Structure 1
Amino acid sequence: MLHRFIDIFAKRRKGFIPLLLAFLLALSSMCSASAQEVLLYNEKDVFPVTGGATYEGITLFTSLGWQKIHLLKVDLTSENIELDVINGTQGLSQRQSLSKIVTENGAIAGINGDFFIMATPSSPIGIQVSQGKLVSSPGNRSDMAAFGLTFDKIPQILRLQFYGQVVAPNGNTSEIAGINKIGAGYEKIYVYTPDFGKTTPTIPTSIPSLTFAVCRDDQIISIQEGKTIDIPEDGYILAARGAGGEFLKNNFTSGDPVTLNLNINPDISNLKMALGGGAVLVENGQIPASFSHDIPGTNPRTAIGFTQDKKTMILAVVDGRQNESRGMTQREMAELMRNHGASFALNLDGGGSSTMVTRPFYEKEPKVINSVSGGVQRLISNAIGIFAKAPKGNVHGLKIVANSFNIPKSGHRSFEVQAYDQNYNLIDINQEDVKWSVSDNIGAFDKNMLIAQNSGYGKVTATYNDIQATCDIYVLQEAAALSISPDKVHIAPGENKDLEVFVTDVKGFKAPLETVDIQWQVVGDIGSITGNRLTASNQTAAGAVIASFGDLKTSAILQVGLNDKALDDSHFYNIRAEIARSLNYPVLPSLIVDKSNKPVTGNGLTFGVFGNLHYSVPYNSIYEKTLNLAAANMNKYKPKMNVIAGSVFAGAKVDDLALQNTLKNYKAAGNGYGVLWEDDATFIFLDASKGSIRLTNYNQWIRLQQDLEKAPVNRTMFLVLDRAPENFTDPLEKELLNKILAKYAKDKKLDIWMLHGGADRFNAKVENGVHSISIPGVNAKEPAACVFNIQGGN
């Protein structure tokens, strides 16, 4: 087609909209990888970005590891939604981070776009059309396709070819190699517009100077030679050397008219936006047997697609090259897009470029929502931006916000609401007009401040006019310990540092304290505290701040000054010891006492627990004494069995008769998955001998969740592991195990105990309602054994 170049000076429309509300869902299946990959667990985080656009964050835990998927689903029929290809304000040649591109253009969300030249100045490989204006020509590569969106918001997958000519007044012509592209030798003519940036690319000294024709209003202003030249804000530059440069010098003089014939096939005159990409991943619901442009390996990925009816657009980013997400192959990415409804999909630039930005409605600026490879956003050439057009309306909904929805018993919690209209635009309201209430006699409100009176779960309700919102809260049990974060502070004189104080209850649940609940004491000439903010003194000093809540105390150690030195833990230990001597107070974090421990009565189910156990070697005297004492106690209560939470090495005969009887009937972890249903308790034996549960045998995760699901309400459950979850090679797997156990402890009121060997010393703790017991073994510094007695399953 003949595309008049004057269209390149059209202006881009801008807009913004906030987003809203996240929640977790348990999904039944969403694993898009190969047949060998088995889904073990998943969760989904969903919130509306604006009217017509929704974010979905999907976390998959599979037999191959972790996968993190980010989706933006856009309703193309929504009058509120507008999309465009966007660049940084310095032009497409000056690469910018996606977050800066989105913010500068007033978009509410976006993903990275086309492949590009990894240099500065840069240019995209393929086409760019923004607001109906041709910004960059197609790359004329048969292996790479493009995405287009018409002015009626009809999406398309395109395979484009470009041909252009410069026509001189005498009728002579010369080929245009590209528009706003980094030239390959510059033997043909390149066109540079203000969309490229302020100047043309500076060519290397090894290449002869270029001929530049400066154009304004389709007229030659001047012809010059050099390595680079400024691009006029209301014009464009024709640049070439060799045959192209000779054409410009021999066929034009200042004042001559210039004609640009720009032909793109198929016709793009109906496109509002277009973006180059790589291979077509899905076409008419089919994934090709091979990809025209194949990027091998398991990598971060970005893709764009749309449904068969062309009413929904799907923008996807998959994290990769990190423990949190392994990434995908290109075929897996195609399967992902098809599984999420894309009948057509195009691969975009991936790897370190894969980035998604969106704005939670409670934040003022868009933010990166995925985990970029390498931890730093790559600077990119262009992006796809999502804009919201609708103006603010009336209040349509409310979201309750608070520092935490866990609240200490006898403590306070301040609540607010954020109001939004039907398109999730934030609406300012008078917070004093909101009425607050709480269920289940949990506490009472004084305006927006809840005073927690009784332990348990409840609901807070906010009412504004006739609109209501609710949120779940939990008032902790009896407070057991306080902690300060950070508990060691190295601060320059006169600087400020915010401290946060937490309460942990007897069940291991944690909640931050409001400033109204904290009593502060400053020890030493280190400064002062207002609210939770520490202001350091103007001189070098060491000391502590002590926080009190009820009868509990905790402290943070401070060093003011000495900022030219790197201070290790021993420095702060010495400060703590000196303060403890001067105050006759330990200045140590308070410890949680697990009050589930009670004297053994002899009734119910009794069993012993050992750490790793060796038969074949002589025991040291301390451990042998420990074993014999444990055996005597266990045999007194006639244990039905004994548990080895660690490794078992059998061999030599055990001479002690009591110990023989004790060890005759044992169950051990580390030998595959096993389950034992007793009248008073259920025992689940797990094997993490290869570093984690998944790495040893991923099927254990499936069976564990099945057994927890079928456990009766109020059941006592023991999970026996051959290593502590803290020692898993995958820390995310540890976090998942803790999360799942805490969920079942809450939802089914299960009394869950984790028993694991491999410890140096005996340790017992409780966290989020789940007990954890570390049992030392034969080689430990302080060997020990345990006796458990279960009364009626509790």
Structure 2
Amino acid sequence: MTLLVALGTVAGAALAGAAPADAATWTTVAAGVAYRQYDLPAAAGTAHAHVLSVDLTNTHVRLGLLYPGAVASRAAVSSLADSRNAVAGINGDFFNISETQHPGVEATGASVGPAIANGRVLKGAVPDAQRFGPALPPGTDTRAVVGVGTDGRARLDSLSLDGSYSIRGRRLPLGGVNQYALPENSVGAYTSDWGGVSRKRATCGTDTERAAACSTRTYEVTVRKGRVVSTSAAPGSGTIAAGTTVLVGREAGAQRLKRLVKGQAVAVRYGLTSAAGSAYGFAVGGYPILSGAKAPAGLDTSVSAVRTAVGIGNGGKRVFLFALDGATAYRRGLTIAEVAAALKSLGATEGFSLDGGGSSTLVARPAGSARVTVRNHPSDGYERPVANGIGVFTE
């Protein structure tokens, strides 16, 4: 993709199909990173888009996961970006934002889908019925991710948990890793990446209903240096030390854990398996909205909202980070089908929806500044703390 540079700006016409042509001005954030904002006519009225264009052919530019240092935690995108020295970024996955349906249960702030940071697996995906956010398009699920592979190319993929805990040579499957919700009858593993938030939420809801009651059949086992050091009838809370894994079981999973005793050897292993056979430097959850320059069947065309999305072009070497403005004049936003069309108009062949509404935030450094500023107007009137995001880094 050829960019025409003049006096520190990049002509919008350089991006094939960019719209609208009369306002297509890109400003340079850093070498390989440009920013643009423009109006978009839409079914619900005019929307206003903010876009970062990231050139991954530039070896000094990379994308990475922004998160607060714990899966069960939240922070503003600007704070996440500045703490990691990112030059720009957007908010990421949908997350466990509230627990009004489970009185007395703490909302974890943990994200829905899989997450990888710096090549390390942070978490797996919650069951489909336990996700927060709008209904998924047909044929999609919570395992969907967008990420950048170790080959330096961005792509859409599906990451499935491959994990187990082994006792006396018998290998048993894990139902989750650092997730705010576990499948019924399963055992989940929680590590130092989880944070200090209570693990009780993991045993609430069912495989078909997020609002279903919390399980009354639970058990927890703490494993340190490969051996059981403590057990509990209920999920606990508090920071998990490095080298320690907490196993949380519900229903039949709880019954299996009850057979363990202090001092018993337990080996825990886990990873994420890529449907595309790729290894990732970073990956974050959401759902696909554009594939091969075509929107999938069943993409919603009726509900307009403020949204955040990612577009991929140039064979995975061009990434568009896209966030709508939440100011009152533009708050009606776009349908998800309109977002897919907007990404395509920028030159994307693949598109991926992230969390929207009050979470939608795009930040970038002004010229000469060492800190980012929020470029859109978040619809809450302030930056909503979020579970994670995508950061743009330069070297």
Q: What's the TM-score once normalised by structure 1's chain length? A: 0.42
Matched with 2:256 is 247
Q: Is the 8 A contact 1:82 1:388 kept in 2?
A: yes
* Higher relative contact order, chain-length normalized (CA < 8 Å, sep 6+): 2
1:224 aligns with 2:224: no
SS at match of 1:245: helix
- Structure-to-structure mapping, 1:671-682, within 5 angstroms: none
Matched with 2:310 is 304
Work out the CA distance in 2 between the residues paired with 1:25 and 1:325: 28
Q: CA deviation at 1:207?
A: 4.8
Give the 3 Å change call, closer, same or farther, for CA 351–104 of structure 1 in structure 2: same
Give the 3 Å change call, closer, same or farther, for CA 22–61 of structure 1 in structure 2: farther
1:109 to 83, 88, 92: 88
Give the 3 Å change call, closer, same or farther, for CA 339–185 of structure 1 in structure 2: closer
Give the 3 Å change call, closer, same or farther, for CA 219–282 of structure 1 in structure 2: same
1:380 aligns with 2:377: no
Task: State the Cα deviation string for residues 65-107 of structure 1 (Å, max 9, x = none).
Answer: 4321111111112121121112113x12112221122122221
SS at match of 2:258: helix
Give the 3 Å change call, closer, same or farther, for CA 356–329 of structure 1 in structure 2: same
Work out the CA distance in 1 between the residues paired with 2:126 and 2:216: 25
Matched with 1:363 is 369
2:246 to 237, 244, 269: 237
Q: Is the 8 A contact 1:163 1:262 kept in 2?
A: yes
Q: CA deviation at 1:42?
A: 5.1
Q: CA deviation at 1:263?
A: 5.7
Matched with 1:150 is 149
Give the 3 Å change call, closer, same or farther, for CA 343–369 of structure 1 in structure 2: same
**Could you tell me which amino acid in structure 2 is paired with residue 330 of structure 1?**
I
**Could you tell me which amino acid in structure 1 is paired with residue 37 of structure 2?**
G
1:128 to 115, 125, 128: 115
Work out the CA distance in 2 between the residues paired with 1:81 and 1:262: 27
Matched with 1:46 is 26
Query: How many residues are paired up?
Result: 357
Matched with 2:352 is 346
**Could you tell me which amino acid in structure 1 is paired with residue 393 of structure 2?**
F
Matched with 2:36 is 56
Work out the CA distance in 2 between the residues paired with 1:85 and 1:310: 17
Q: CA deviation at 1:277?
A: 0.9
Work out the CA distance in 2 between the residues paired with 1:219 and 1:147: 36
Give the 3 Å change call, closer, same or farther, for CA 268–245 of structure 1 in structure 2: farther
Work out the CA distance in 2 between the residues paired with 1:281 and 1:167: 39
Task: State the Cα deviation string for residues 683-742 of structure 1 (Å, max 9, x = none).
Answer: xxxxxxxxxxxxxxxxxxxxxxxxxxxxxxxxxxxxxxxxxxxxxxxxxxxxxxxxxxxx
Q: CA deviation at 1:303?
A: 1.0
Matched with 2:185 is 187
Task: State the Cα deviation string for residues 651-698 of structure 1 (Å, max 9, x = none).
Answer: xxxxxxxxxxxxxxxxxxxxxxxxxxxxxxxxxxxxxxxxxxxxxxxx
Matched with 1:78 is 58
Work out the CA distance in 1 between the residues paired with 2:305 and 2:237: 39
Q: CA deviation at 1:47?
A: 1.8
Work out the CA distance in 1 between the residues paired with 2:344 and 2:368: 32
Matched with 2:75 is 96
Matched with 2:48 is 68
Work out the CA distance in 2 between the residues paired with 1:25 and 1:152: 29
Q: CA deviation at 1:267?
A: 6.4
SS at match of 1:212: strand
Matched with 1:272 is 281
Q: CA deviation at 1:53?
A: 1.0
Q: CA deviation at 1:242?
A: 2.8
Task: State the Cα deviation string for residues 389-439 of structure 1 (Å, max 9, x = none).
Answer: 2xxxxxxxxxxxxxxxxxxxxxxxxxxxxxxxxxxxxxxxxxxxxxxxxxx
2:340 to 334, 340, 354: 334
SS at match of 2:37: strand
Task: State the Cα deviation string for residues 33-67 of structure 1 (Å, max 9, x = none).
Answer: xxxxxx7x953453212111111122357897432
Q: Is the 8 A contact 1:215 1:237 kept in 2?
A: yes
Give the 3 Å change call, closer, same or farther, for CA 101–137 of structure 1 in structure 2: same
Task: State the Cα deviation string for residues 597-618 of structure 1 (Å, max 9, x = none).
Answer: xxxxxxxxxxxxxxxxxxxxxx
Residue identity (%): 25
Q: CA deviation at 1:374?
A: 2.5
- Structure-to-structure mapping, 1:700-739, within 5 angstroms: none
In the alignment, structure 1 segments of 5+ residues that lack a partner are: 1-20, 33-38, 390-794
Q: Is the 8 A contact 1:284 1:308 kept in 2?
A: no
Task: State the Cα deviation string for residues 457-505 of structure 1 (Å, max 9, x = none).
Answer: xxxxxxxxxxxxxxxxxxxxxxxxxxxxxxxxxxxxxxxxxxxxxxxxx
**Could you tell me which amino acid in structure 2 is paired with residue 118 of structure 1?**
I
- Structure-to-structure mapping, 1:581-620, within 5 angstroms: none
Q: CA deviation at 1:296?
A: 4.6
Work out the CA distance in 1 between the residues paired with 2:261 and 2:167: 7
Q: CA deviation at 1:366?
A: 1.1
Work out the CA distance in 1 between the residues paired with 2:43 and 2:226: 62
Q: Is the 8 A contact 1:192 1:200 kept in 2?
A: no
Give the 3 Å change call, closer, same or farther, for CA 271–180 of structure 1 in structure 2: same
Work out the CA distance in 1 between the residues paired with 2:11 and 2:328: 24
Matched with 1:546 is none
1:288 to 292, 296, 310: 296
Give the 3 Å change call, closer, same or farther, for CA 108–166 of structure 1 in structure 2: same
Q: Is the 8 A contact 2:57 2:317 kept in 1?
A: yes
Give the 3 Å change call, closer, same or farther, for CA 139–156 of structure 1 in structure 2: farther
Q: CA deviation at 1:121?
A: 1.1
Q: Is the 8 A contact 1:42 1:60 kept in 2?
A: no
SS at match of 2:29: strand
Task: State the Cα deviation string for residues 4-55 of structure 1 (Å, max 9, x = none).
Answer: xxxxxxxxxxxxxxxxx9869898x9786xxxxxx7x953453212111111
Matched with 2:136 is none
